[in-house]
Amino acid sequence: MADAATLIAEARIVLPDAAALVDRLCAHFVEHATVTRDGASGLIDSIYGRAVLTPADGLLHLRIECPGESAFFLVKTSLIEHVFEFAADPQITWTGHGTDTAAVPYFREMTVVAARSLTPRMRRVTLRGDVGQFARGGLHVRLLIPPVGRAPRWPVLSPQGRLVWPKGDDALAARVYTVRRLDADAGTLDLDVVVHQGHDTPGSTWALTVQPGAVVGLMGPGGGDLPPGRDFLLAGDETALPAIARILESLGPDARATVLVEIADAAEEQALPSAAAADVTWLHRNGREAGTTSLIEDAVRAHVLPQGAGGYVWIACEHGAARSLRNWLRREVKYDRDRQLVAAYWRRGAAGDEVAEAD
């Protein structure tokens, strides 16, 4: 994989049972990447890059190879957080790219310039700043909301490669959103936020109350880009609607897309412009709570999946529905794993952005 543009770093991790740690890491990442075992060693390949894990006597050698800064940061921090989760007090020494700075490489401070409602339950917030890095490398960013009335303190990297977050009165609220639209010339980007009326949740409250001039942080992008294709099935609930809209806008006139979107009711329908031939079906809950219906699952299973090398299935919804559809595609339908992405954008009964997962 390595070439002139590849970013490479290596870690020497001291711990008593390196082989057991490799087993746990490979078992965890098998749901999110392609994992290959060679004896006690492991290779984890994903759209973001590659990690090679080689155990020795009392040591684990970890090598990371990634095609860009954002992907490198994502792979490195994800692996190291799981090392600390699975191992007691690991001692880590890094060499190579990114070992000489505490700055988070894909962080940018942004300023709010506008906020408005698109529908009763969807709010668009426009940010201004250095937006260039968010134009490629994935659809999603992590929004960092500082406490009201305090100067923000942003995360930094520890020498071991872990993110160090401000705590106490300086603690940040973090949520993952799709970059709905980006204007490089104006230096602005839009985040479309699903709001939950009557519920005091950090993302919703921020979107409903934030004023121009407020400062926030963005980390990213991540989540991957849509691969080339000509025949798409795009499905999701309102949390996926900004990503679906952005994907549709990116498709050319030679493409076609079947689009299935679950929303609260007809008032949440939006225009979804696309040069592609798009067939959009709106699935209304009509008073039922999000995450309590089988609307998305039933609709996806009832449709003919895109066939051939140009076909692709993209699904994003509540955790339970996402897991069910992922298992159905892989185990029952046996749909090509390289031509699908099924992501859990949220989990009923849980809060925060840590519940999101994508394969």
DSSP symbols for 108-149: EEEEEEEEEEEETTEEEEEEES--GGGGSSBSEEEEEEPPTT
The verdict on 348 and 293 lying in the same domain is yes
- Bridge partners (DSSP) listed for residue 235: 260, 315
Q: Is residue 348 in a domain?
A: yes
Return mean pLDDT, the chain.
91
* Rounded-to-integer distance, Cα 178 and Cα 246, Å: 9
pLDDT band for position 353 (cuts 50, 70, 90): very low
Asked if the model's pLDDT at residue 118 lies above 90, the reply is yes
The pLDDT, as a whole number, for residue 352 is 53
* Rounded-to-integer distance, Cα 166 and Cα 146, Å: 10
The verdict on 267 and 236 lying in the same domain is yes
Q: Write the CATH number for 88.
A: 3.30.310.50
Asked if the model's pLDDT at residue 357 lies above 60, the reply is no
The verdict on 354 and 239 lying in the same domain is yes
Q: Is residue 102 in a domain?
A: no
Asked if the model's pLDDT at residue 214 lies above 70, the reply is yes
The verdict on 81 and 120 lying in the same domain is no
The verdict on 92 and 112 lying in the same domain is no
The pLDDT, as a whole number, for residue 5 is 82
| Contact criterion met (CB below 8 Å) for 97 and 72 | yes
| Contact criterion met (CB below 8 Å) for 249 and 274 | yes
Closest CA to 199 of 207, 190, 191: 207
Pairing of strands 256-263, 231-237: parallel
Length of the chain (residues): 359
* Rounded-to-integer distance, Cα 241 and Cα 314, Å: 12
Averaged pLDDT for residues 140-167: 94
Each residue's pLDDT tens digit, 311-341: 999 999 999 999 999 999 999 999 998 899 9
Last residue of a domain, one of 169, 190, 222: 222
The pLDDT, as a whole number, for residue 343 is 92
The verdict on 299 and 262 lying in the same domain is yes
What burial class does residue 166 get, using C-beta atoms within 10 Å of its C-beta: 0-12 exposed, 13-18 middle, 19+ buried? Answer: middle
The pLDDT, as a whole number, for residue 304 is 93
pLDDT band for position 200 (cuts 50, 70, 90): low
Each residue's pLDDT tens digit, 82-102: 999 999 889 999 999 988 888
Boundaries of domain holding 177: 107-222
The pLDDT, as a whole number, for residue 247 is 95
Phi/psi of residue 133, each to 5°?
-70, -20
* Rounded-to-integer distance, Cα 124 and Cα 222, Å: 20
Q: Please give the structure tokens belonging to residue 161.
A: 């490669």
% of the chain beyond a pLDDT of 90: 78
Averaged pLDDT for residues 306-313: 92
The verdict on 259 and 194 lying in the same domain is no
Q: Please give the structure tokens belonging to residue 324.
A: 């069910």
Q: Is residue 1 in a domain?
A: no
Q: Write the CATH number for 295.
A: 3.40.50.80
The verdict on 113 and 200 lying in the same domain is yes
Last residue of a domain, one of 203, 222, 241: 222
The pLDDT, as a whole number, for residue 197 is 65
The pLDDT, as a whole number, for residue 46 is 87
The verdict on 88 and 127 lying in the same domain is no
Q: Is residue 2 in a domain?
A: no
Q: Is residue 78 in a domain?
A: yes
The pLDDT, as a whole number, for residue 355 is 45
DSSP 231: E
Averaged pLDDT for residues 256-269: 98
Q: Is residue 101 in a domain?
A: no
- Bridge partners (DSSP) listed for residue 177: 141
% of the chain beyond a pLDDT of 70: 95
Asked if the model's pLDDT at residue 229 lies above 70, the reply is yes
| pTM of the shown model | 0.86
The pLDDT, as a whole number, for residue 145 is 97
Averaged pLDDT for residues 298-317: 95
DSSP line for 47-99: SS-EEEEEEETTEEEEEEEESSHHHHHHHHHHHHHHHHHHSSS-EEEEEETTT
DSSP 224: B
pLDDT band for position 1 (cuts 50, 70, 90): very low
Looking at per-residue pLDDT, the higher value among 85 and 359 belongs to: 85
Instruction: Quickly tell me which residue has 């449709």 as its tokens.
Output: 303
Last residue of a domain, one of 75, 96, 117: 96
Q: Number of folded domains in the chain?
A: 3
The verdict on 256 and 319 lying in the same domain is yes
The verdict on 84 and 116 lying in the same domain is no
pLDDT band for position 255 (cuts 50, 70, 90): very high
The verdict on 314 and 263 lying in the same domain is yes
